[in-house]
A and B are shown apart, each in its own frame.
Chain A
Amino acid sequence: MDRRDALRLFSATAALPAVPDLLVLGRRLHERLTARPALRTLDPHQNATVTAVADRILPATDTPGATAARVNEFIDLLLTEWTPQEARARFLAGLADLDARARAAFGKAFVDGGEADQVRLLIVLEDEALRLKEQPGPHPEPFFRTIKYLTMYGYYTSEIGAKQELHFEIIPGRYVPCTPLSAASGPPGGD
C-alpha cells in the first residue's frame, strides 16, 4: 500500500455518515498500511517460528531488531528464489526439528514457549553447532548456524540495520585513516 492508497482511505472516512466506529476503522487502516507481501515458501507457522528465532538472535534494544527489519521476509525470499533445493529442504526440516525439540523440552511448539524456554533451547542448538565445527571432515551446516547467518545478514543489510545499528553512510565524503572508535560514524568496509 502506498501513500496515495492511505490518503484515499482517509478521505473515505471523511465521507462516512454519523458515528463511524473510528477504532475499527483505525485498526483496519493500520492492518492495510503494515500489510506484508505474501510469503512464498514459509507457511504461517514456519514464518512465526523464523520470526521468533530471529528476534531471539537480534532483539529490539535501543535500536529495532530482526522483526522490525523484516528478516523473516528476506529469509522467505532467499528460500524461494536463491537457496538450492537441498539446502531449502534442510532448513525446513530444521524448523520442524526445532518444534519437536521444543515439545520435548517444554511441551509446546517453539513459538508458544516463553522467552526463557526459547533461549534455553537455542543455547543447546548453538552448543551442538559449535561442537560440530570442531569435528573434522565435511558436514552439512547445522540449522542454528544457517538461521543465525541468515538473520544477521538480513538484519545488517536492511535499511534499519545498516542505518540505525551500523550508522552506514552512503557517501562518507572523506577517508579518515585512524580515528578513535568512539568518533567513528560506522564500521569499516562492507557495502
Chain B
Amino acid sequence: MAKVYDAIVVGSGMTGGWAAKELTEHGLDTLVLEAGRPITPAVDYVEHVPVWEKRFRGLRDRNAQLANQPIQRECYACDEWSSKFFVDDHENPYTTEPDAPFLWLRGRQVGGRSIMWGRQVYRWSDLDFEANLRDGIAVDWPIRYADLAPWYDHVEEFVGISGEPLGLPQLPDGKFLPPMELNCVERVVREALAKRFGRERVLTIGRVAILTQNHLGRAACHYCGNCERGCVTLSYFNSINSTLPAAQRTGKLTLRPYSVARSLMYDKKRTRVTGVRVVDAQTKHDIEFHGRIIFLCASTLESARLLLLSATPELPNGLANSSGQVGRNLMDHVMGGGARGRIDGNLDKTDTGRRPNGIYVPRFRNLRDGPKSPFLRGYGYQGGGDREHWGRGVDQAGFGADFKRAMRDPGPWHFSLYGFGECLPNHDNYAELDKTKTDAYGIPVLKINCRFGENERAILKDASIAAAEMLAAAGAHDINPFVENNPPGKTIHEMGTARMGRDPKTSVLNGWNQAWDIPNLFITDGACMASSACQNPSITYMALTARAADHAVELLKRREL
C-alpha cells in the first residue's frame, strides 16, 4: 500500500517553506513537492562574483536571453548572475491576447522566487481588509487585521525584519530589528517633507527581510548589494536560508525536487483531495503521492492552474470551483508613477557600502479620516537618494586625463520616488486553461487575460504628480515626473485567483484559506487574496500560511478533516 503523508505541500518558495516549517513543527509527516531543481548555496549563490568575471560584464547574454527567456528578461533581476533562477520560457509557456500582454515572471527551483524576491515587508491594516466592503467591490475579506496580527508577529520574529516603527494606522509596525540608515540626502528630504506635510507624508527607511544584526543563526548583512544573487551568510530571508532548514530539523520533512504537479486526486464521495499526481521532470514518468491534507503554495497562477487541471467528469470546471471564481480576479500592483530630481549640496559627502534597500513613503491617499481622491485606494513609494557615477560622463563633454580624474568622484545627488499602487479586483481579469498548448511536461498551459483599468491609471498619474510636488518641497531641481506603461505581471505581485471570502457562492476559500468545497485543501499563496492593497504582499502570504497551517493542525486533531 502506498505511503500516505500527513500533509503534502505543493511548492517550496515563500509560502511552501512556511507551510513545511509549521506543519512539520506540529509533528506532521510532510512531503514538499517542488517542480524545479535543488539549489546548493555553495555552488548556486553568486553574489560575490565580481562584474569583471562575467562574460558580458553585467550587460547580460543578450542573444541567449532573446532565445530562451524573452519574457523573463523583462525582470530587472534576471541578469547575468541570476537568470539561472528564472524559467526557460519555451519549457514553460503561457498565452495572452495580443492586445493584453501579461508578464509572468517565474522561478522554478527549491526556494522558488523567494531567492530573488525584493525583500520589502509591509503589514496590511484594516484600511486594506475593509476596503472591498467599504467600496462595494468584489467580496469582503473574511478576516480583519486583528485576526492576522499575531501571525504577522509570529512570522516576523522568525524572518528578521529591519525597519523603523512609525505608529501609523495605515501601516502597522512590526517586530523590527534596528533599521538600516538613511543616507545624507534621504535625511534632507525626510526633514523637508516633515516640514511641508507633517505626519501626512512620512519618509522612512524600507522595512526589509534583511538582518541588521545576527538573528537565529543567520549573520547580519555585509552590504555587498545584490541579494537576488543569493547570500552565503543567509542575511536575507528566503526559504532555503530559513524555513526549509527549520522543517528539515524536525526530521519530518521529505523534500522532492523535479516534481511537476499535474493534478490533484479527488475522492468525490468524501469530497476530499487524496494526493497529487506528479510528472518527474527528469524521467518524465508519472508518480502519485498521497496525503491527508494538501497545501497549495505553488504561486498565484500555478495553484489556480492546478485546480483547473484537476477537473473531473463531475467537476468539469475544476476542483474547488463551485463558485466559478478559480482563475478570476487576477491582480498585480500597478507601478511606475513617480518623479526624479537633483538635490544640490552635500557634494563633500557620500555613502559607502551597498545598502540593498531604499526608502518608503507609506500610503497617504484615501485614508480613513482624510480627504478623498477621485480614485479608489492608494499607493506607496519606494526610492531613495543616490549620487551619479561614472555613467554620467558618457553624455558630458570631455575625455582624456582630466575627464578620467573627474569621473573618479561621484556626481550630484538625485532623489527618486517610484509609486506602487493598488489594483482593484476585477472579474474580467482571469486565467483559464489554453487547451491548444502544453508545456515541456505535456501539461496544458494557462491563457492569461488581464488588463489594468481606469482606477490603476488614475493612481499612477496621481503618484507622478504627488512625487513631483514632494521633490519640489524638498528643493529638488530638474524634476522629471514620469508615468510608465508597464504590463500587468511586471511588478511580480500577482494575486487573487482563488480568493478568500465569506460566502461559498462567491469565493473559493474561507477565512482559514480552506477550500469551501474541499475541507482538506488549503491554498495560502497569493491566489487567496480578495484585494491587493498597495503594500508588497509576501509577508501577508507568510502570515496567512502560518495561520492556516495552525488551523489545519487543529482540525486534524479534532478529526474534522
Contact = CB atoms under 8 A, between A and B. Distances in A.
Interface string B180-207: 1111101100000000000000000000
Say whether chain B's binding surface is mostly helix, strand, loop, or mixed: loop
A156 B393 CA distance: 12
A92 B307 CA distance: 56
Given A175-B353, A181-B348, A77 B50 contact: no
A191 B390 CA distance: 12
A126 B404 CA distance: 16
Max chain B Cβ within 10 angstroms of own Cβ: one of A149, A156, A158, A188: A188
B389 A188 contact: yes
Contacts of B158: none
A96 interface: no
A59 B57 contact: no
Max chain A Cβ within 10 angstroms of own Cβ: one of B223, B352, B389, B408: B352
A70 to B, nearest CB: 10
Contacts of B409: 181, 187
A58 interface: yes
Interface stretch (A12-20, A37-45, A101-109, A164-172): A164-172
A181 to B, nearest CB: 5
Contact of A78 (B56, B386, B387): B56
Interface in B344-363: 347-355
A51 to B, nearest CB: 15
A166 B59 CA distance: 19
Given A157-B51, A188-B350, A171 B389 contact: no
A116 to B, nearest CB: 12
Given A119-B400, A130-B397, A153-B57, A184 B350 contact: yes
Interface in A133-171: 133, 145, 148-149, 152-154, 156-159, 162, 165-166, 168, 170-171
Interface in B396-411: 397, 399-401, 403-405, 407-410
A171 B222 contact: yes
Contacts of B399: 56-58, 122, 126, 148
A170 B53 CA distance: 12
A80 B274 CA distance: 55
A189 interface: yes
A185 B181 CA distance: 18
Contacts of A157: 51-52, 57-58
Given A188-B410, A189-B386, A81 B395 contact: no
B394 interface: yes
A174 interface: yes
A82 to B, nearest CB: 5
A177 B223 CA distance: 12
B62 interface: yes
A130 B210 CA distance: 43
A114 B407 CA distance: 25
A179 B226 CA distance: 22
Given A59-B400, A61-B404, A178 B386 contact: no
Interface magnitude class on chain B? 35 or more
A148 B394 contact: yes
B543 to A, nearest CB: 28
B389 A187 contact: yes
Contacts of B225: 191
Contact of A61 (B226, B352, B405): B405
B52 A158 contact: yes
Contact of A174 (B353, B386, B403): B353
Contacts of A175: 180-181, 221, 223, 351-355
Given A175-B180, A177-B181, A186 B352 contact: yes
Given A158-B52, A191-B51, A78 B353 contact: no
Contacts of B223: 172-175
B63 interface: yes
Contacts of A59: 400-401, 404
B269 interface: no
B249 interface: no
Contacts of A78: 56, 59
A176 interface: yes
Given A82-B63, A157-B52, A177 B401 contact: no
Given A56-B400, A159-B52, A170-B224, A188 B62 contact: no
B349 A181 contact: yes
B387 A187 contact: yes
A181 B346 CA distance: 10
Contacts of B184: 177-178
Given A170-B50, A179-B351, A152 B222 contact: no
A154 B52 CA distance: 9
B404 A177 contact: no
Contacts of B59: 78, 82, 153
B55 interface: yes
A11 B543 CA distance: 67
A82 B56 CA distance: 8
Nearest to B410: A187
A130 B399 CA distance: 13
Interface in B373-395: 386-387, 389-391, 393-395
Nearest to B409: A181
A165 B223 CA distance: 21
A102 to B, nearest CB: 17
Contacts of B395: 130, 133, 145
A82 B391 CA distance: 20
A152 B393 contact: yes
B352 A189 contact: no
B368 interface: no
A65 B404 contact: yes
Contacts of A130: 395, 397
Contacts of B48: 170-171
B56 A176 contact: no
13 contacts: A56-B399, A126-B397, A154-B57, A157-B58, A177-B181, A177-B186, A178-B183, A179-B350, A181-B350, A184-B350, A184-B351, A188-B350, A189-B386
Closest 3 pairs between A and B when the two form their complex, measured CB to CB: A175-B353, A178-B184, A172-B353
Given A176-B351, A188-B410, 5 more contacts: A61-B405, A77-B55, A162-B50, A170-B224, A173-B353
